[in-house]
Every structure is written in C-alpha cells, then in structure tokens.
Amino acid sequence: MEERKIVSIKQKLFFSPIFLFVLFLDQITKKWIVNTMFYGDSKNIIGNIVRFTYIRNPNSVFGLKFGGPFISTALTIIAFIFVVFLFVKNESRFSLVSLSFIIGGALGNLTDRLLYMEVIDFIDVGVRRWRFATFNVADSFVTIGLILIIIYFIFIDKSHKETESP
C-alpha cells in the first residue's frame, strides 16, 4: 500500500498545529509543575510507579553529560535544524506527523534551554529504586515521533528497498 504524497510547503503548514500543540502542552505542564511544586519535591501519581518529581536538567537528553549547558543547547539547535530539514524534504503524511511530534518536543526543550540553560523535567517512572531518567512532555513526544519514524521506514516506506526482479 503506497501512501499519497504531499508536495507543497503550503500543504505542509497543515501540520504546524501539531508541533504548536506539543510545544504548548510541554510548556504549560512545565509551568504547572514550577508553580505547584518545590524543586526536588516528588508526588505519587500512580502509586510509586509514576510520580511527578520536579528537577532541572542542565545536561543533554536523559541527563547524559556532553560538556555542559552550552554544548547541550548547541546540540539541541543542530538536531532541531536537522529535523526541520527532514520535515521540509519529506512528502509522506505519516512521517510529517512523526516529524511534527519531534519538532514540537525539540521546540519545548529548546525553549527551556534558551530561557534557563536547562530543561525542566518531572515525569518519573520506575519501580522502587529502579527508576528511568526523569523526563517531560517534550521528551515523550520526541520519543513517540522517533518510534513512528522507525515504523515508517521499516514497514511503510518502500522507496529505500530494492525492487524485486520478475
């Protein structure tokens, strides 16, 4: 099954509400956490499995250290430019939705980095002492977008596969 293609930039603007919604949702949830919790506080949401823990991350994704906040901000900008380039070059609706999720999430974290030189994180998932790195709504949408892009290239996009000979 081949997907219909989109060709014009004007048609691609149809997807801008997706990344604007992701950006809005990310920033409003971070603002809510900052206004309702003290730094370092933790509140159980679903038992001890899902909780909100207010932290700030000056490092790269999932707290990985790549040279401090300036390097992390520069890497975020480079990644954002690359994803926007992919968005402009792509013509598949499925991948444009996926890339819109990534762009919205990248804009959310980039906004934090430019304003505060760190990212506000609060979603804390795990069991007892085994916890995943604390993350935010932007990180969630970037991850979902990446998973969808992988699904697209493995199962939907046939242009990169060799054509079978008869």
Q: Which residues are catalytic?
A: 121, 139
- Cα radius of gyration rounded to whole Å, the chain: 18
Place of tokens 């081949």: 2
Q: Are 119 and 30 in contact (CB under 8 A)?
A: no
Does an H or E element contain 130, and which? strand 130-131
Listed as own residue / partner, the contacts of 28-36 with beta carbons closer than 8 Å and 24 or more positions apart are 29/122, 29/136, 29/137, 30/108, 30/112, 30/120, 30/122, 30/136, 30/137, 33/120, 33/122, 34/120
